């Protein structure tokens, strides 16, 4: 069996399953956020009764992160709905924006968009927060009301996005009927070269198969090259399985996975036991390819979809209006480190926005020093508008006052985010070019899409 089949068989209590089987699986964690949480709660109450209890309080994780730092009152209210539900159900894992359990969330626009406005429990973007807060374990099943839930596949987990109706059902029963996906095999060999990042790996893969090339399929990444990829790298790759239509992305388990998960579960006092899925000799794939990391070059997905692959060096005639680093895919500490490595001692020439995915990443960047400056200061000195309000921000547009949102037609943005369908980051006539943080940095310096390797080498 493939990694995905092994995990699903175990979750269904079966000795084996194969692609195409329809099976009931038990859920290890259900995650929801401020956009889909209220709808999920509505379905749950409608179907199970207004006094119903969730199937397992320890397994429901609620992380507001999407439309948070906005004066939009309906978005603010969504966070309040989550708080009321978490209190009613006595959920231990609700990562509230504010500290007062009886308070109401309101974003104070008079304080501006850059200074932090959240309390001690706020966790930032759900997919980055889940592993960091100890809720991801190898071999388990995660359902989340968000398409990029597949990011947790980096940790050898079966993780996939589901809709509010399914999530309401999981909330009441802990189970879900799913079809076992076919598996596509991406064997990773070699090692990334300077200036080439994990983002380039997944943009390359999506370019190979198209933005619908993995529709309802698992994308399995294994092979000797995986060992050289950090957990952040693997998260970037698994995160974008959905950008090829994938049901899930999944990595083999190794000592790096083990170290990360053991560390984070202990740190947060969450469940530490897990049983990873090991790679079998006997696996059936519907597609097989080898990705040689040594041969990859800085890659860009052009407007209007993540499958529009080009090399950065071929796009030097694309004039940009802005640059953006952030999101679950591209707003991790390692992403900002590579962003800063290119920008250090240089200055951007176009509007450039930096949105860390989580408060912990803000802290990392504000405390890690390179010489006499922190990474945060290096980026600010280079002209990047860095916000402490970690969250999804303009990755998906959001309300009109969202930090970094593209509010005008015709704007072209190079972005370390994961999705670039028309209107994704705001105005439906704006254009988004997806790239690695290193490519975003080099492009922010020149104002044109730029291969970052000459900046990394110097």
Instruction: Return the structure tokens found at 441.
Output: 């940095």
The nearer residue to ligand SF4, 12 or 328, going by C-beta atoms, is 328
Nearest approach in angstroms of CB 403 to ligand SF4 is 12
Q: Which residues contact 51 (CB under 8 A, 6 or more apart)?
A: none
Minimum CB distance to ligand SF4 smaller for 245 or for 276: 245
Note whether 395 binds ligand SF4 by CB under 6 A. Answer: yes
- How many residues does this entry show for the chain? 458
396 binds ligand SF4 (CB under 6 A): yes
Q: Which is nearer to ligand SF4, 78 or 417 (CB)?
A: 417
The number of angstroms, rounded, from the C-alpha of 415 to the middle of its chain's C-alpha atoms is: 14
The answer to whether 183 contacts ligand SF4 (rule: CB under 6 A) is no
By CB under 6 A, tell whether 440 contacts ligand SF4: no
Closest residue by Cα to residue 246 from 50, 4, 438, 84? 4
Pick between residue 174 and residue 306 the one whose CB is nearest to ligand SF4.
306
- One of 10, 83, 148, 264 touching ligand SF4 (CB under 6 A): 148
For ligand SF4, the binding residue among 6, 10, 59, 127 (CB under 6 A) is 127
Choose the stretch contacting ligand SF4; rule: CB under 6 A; options: 280-288, 296-304, 316-324, 391-399.
Answer: 391-399
Query: CA-CA distances (angstroms) from residue 71 to 47, 61, 270, 405?
Result: 32, 25, 34, 14
Going by C-alpha positions, the residue among 141, 136, 135 that lies closest to residue 17 is 141
CB of residue 240 to ligand SF4, shortest distance in Å: 9
Please tell me the distance from the alpha carbon of residue 189 to that of residue 187, in angstroms, as a whole number: 7
Residue 434 as a binder of ligand SF4 (CB under 6 A): the answer is: no
Query: Of residues 5, 96, 140, 146, which one binds ligand SF4 by CB under 6 A?
Result: 146
Gap between the Cα atoms of 159 and 28, Å rounded: 10
Residue 149 exposed, middle or buried by CB count within 10 Å (0-12, 13-18, 19+): buried
Axis-axis angle for helices 359-367, 333-343 (nearest 10): 40
Q: Per CB under 6 A, which region of 125-133, 367-375, 399-407, 441-449 contacts ligand SF4?
A: 125-133
| Contact pick of 418, 420, 436, 450 for ligand SF4 (by CB under 6 A) | 418
36 lies in the binding site for ligand SF4 (CB under 6 A)? no
Residues within window 40-99 making contact with ligand SF4, judged by CB under 6 A: 66
Size of interface with ligand SF4, in residues (CB under 6 A): 13
Comparison of 387 and 450: residue with beta carbon closer to ligand SF4 = 387
**How far is Cα 91 from Cα 270, in angstroms, rounded to an integer?**
14
The yes or no reply on residue 392 touching ligand SF4 (CB under 6 A) is yes
User: What is the C-alpha to C-alpha distance for residues 137 and 119, in angstroms, rounded to an integer?
Assistant: 27
**Terminal C-alpha separation, the chain:** 47
Kindly state whether residue 133 participates in binding ligand SF4, applying the rule CB under 6 A.
no
CB nearer ligand SF4, residue 283 or residue 407: 407
Nearest to 340 by CA among 299, 376, 385: 376
Residue 214, interface with ligand SF4 (CB under 6 A)? Answer: no
Q: For residues 414 and 307, what is the distance between their CA atoms, to the nearest angstrom?
A: 15
Residue 327 Cβ vs ligand SF4, minimum distance, rounded to whole Å: 4
Q: Which stretch binds ligand SF4 (CB under 6 A): 4-12, 73-81, 92-100, 389-397?
A: 389-397
Q: Which is nearer to ligand SF4, 55 or 143 (CB)?
A: 143
- Closest CB 247 distance from ligand SF4, rounded Å: 17
Distance CA 91, CA 419 (A): 32
Instruction: Please report, as residue ranges, which positions from 282 to 341 form the binding site for ligand SF4 (by CB under 6 A).
Output: 327-328
Q: How far apart are CA 111 and CA 119, in angstroms?
A: 15
Contacts of 152 (CB under 8 A, 6+ apart): 127, 130, 131, 136, 142, 159, 238
CA atoms of 338 and 119, how far apart (whole Å):
28
CA angle 327/126/438 to nearest 5° reads: 20
Which C-beta is closer to ligand SF4: that of 195 or that of 331?
A: 331
Confirm or reject binding of residue 188 to ligand SF4 (CB under 6 A): no
Q: Any contact of residue 238 with ligand SF4 (CB under 6 A)?
A: no
Q: Which residues bind ligand SF4 (CB under 6 A)?
A: 66, 125-127, 146, 148, 327-328, 392, 395-396, 417-418
């Amino acid at each position: 069996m493939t990694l995905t089949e092994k995990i699903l068989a175990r979750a269904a209590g079966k000795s084996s399953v194969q692609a195409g089987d329809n099976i009931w699986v038990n859920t290890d964690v259900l995650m929801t956020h401020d956009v889909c949480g209220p709808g999920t709660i509505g379905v749950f109450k409608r179907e199970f009764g207004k006094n119903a209890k969730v199937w397992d309080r320890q397994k429901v994780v609620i992380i507001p992160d999407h439309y948070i730092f906005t004066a939009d009152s309906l978005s603010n209210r969504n966070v309040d709905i989550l708080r009321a539900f978490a209190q009613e159900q006595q959920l231990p894992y609700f990562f509230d924006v504010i500290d007062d359990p009886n308070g109401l969330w309101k974003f104070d626009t008079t304080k501006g968009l850059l200074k932090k406005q959240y309390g001690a429990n706020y966790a930032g973007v759900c997919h980055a927060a889940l592993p960091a807060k100890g809720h991801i374990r190898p071999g388990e099943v995660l359902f989340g009301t968000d398409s990029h839930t597949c990011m947790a596949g980096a940790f050898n987990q079966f993780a996939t996005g589901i809709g509010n109706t399914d999530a309401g059902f999981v909330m009441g029963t802990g189970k879900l009927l799913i079809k076992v996906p076919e598996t596509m095999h991406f064997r990773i060999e070699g090692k990334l070269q300077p200036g080439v990042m994990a983002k380039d790996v997944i943009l390359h893969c999506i370019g190979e198969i198209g933005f619908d090339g993995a529709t309802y399929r698992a994308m399995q990444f294994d092979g000797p090259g995986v060992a050289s990829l950090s957990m952040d790298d693997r998260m970037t790759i698994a995160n974008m399985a959905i950008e090829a239509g994938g049901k899930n992305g999944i990595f083999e388990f190794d000592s790096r996975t083990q170290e990360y998960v053991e560390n984070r579960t202990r740190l947060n006092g969450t469940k530490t036991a897990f049983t990873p899925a090991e790679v079998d000799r006997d696996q059936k794939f519907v597609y097989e390819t080898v990705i040689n990391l040594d041969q990859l070059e800085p890659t860009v997905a052009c407007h209007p979809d993540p499958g529009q692959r080009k090399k950065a060096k071929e796009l030097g005639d694309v004039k940009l209006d802005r640059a953006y680093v952030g999101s679950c895919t591209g707003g991790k500490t390692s992403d900002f480190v590579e962003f800063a490595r290119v920008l250090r001692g240089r200055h951007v020439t176009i509007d450039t926005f930096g949105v860390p995915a989580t408060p912990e990443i803000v802290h990392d960047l504000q405390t890690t020093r390179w010489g006499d400056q922190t990474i945060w200061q290096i980026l600010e000195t280079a002209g990047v508008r860095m916000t402490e309000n970690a969250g999804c921000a303009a990755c998906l547009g959001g309300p009109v006052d969202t930090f970094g949102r593209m509010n005008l037609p015709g704007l072209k943005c190079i972005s370390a985010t994961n999705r670039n369908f028309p209107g994704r980051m705001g105005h439906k006539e704006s254009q988004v070019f997806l790239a690695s943080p290193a490519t975003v940095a080099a492009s922010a310096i020149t104002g044109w899409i730029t291969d970052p390797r000459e900046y990394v080498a110097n």
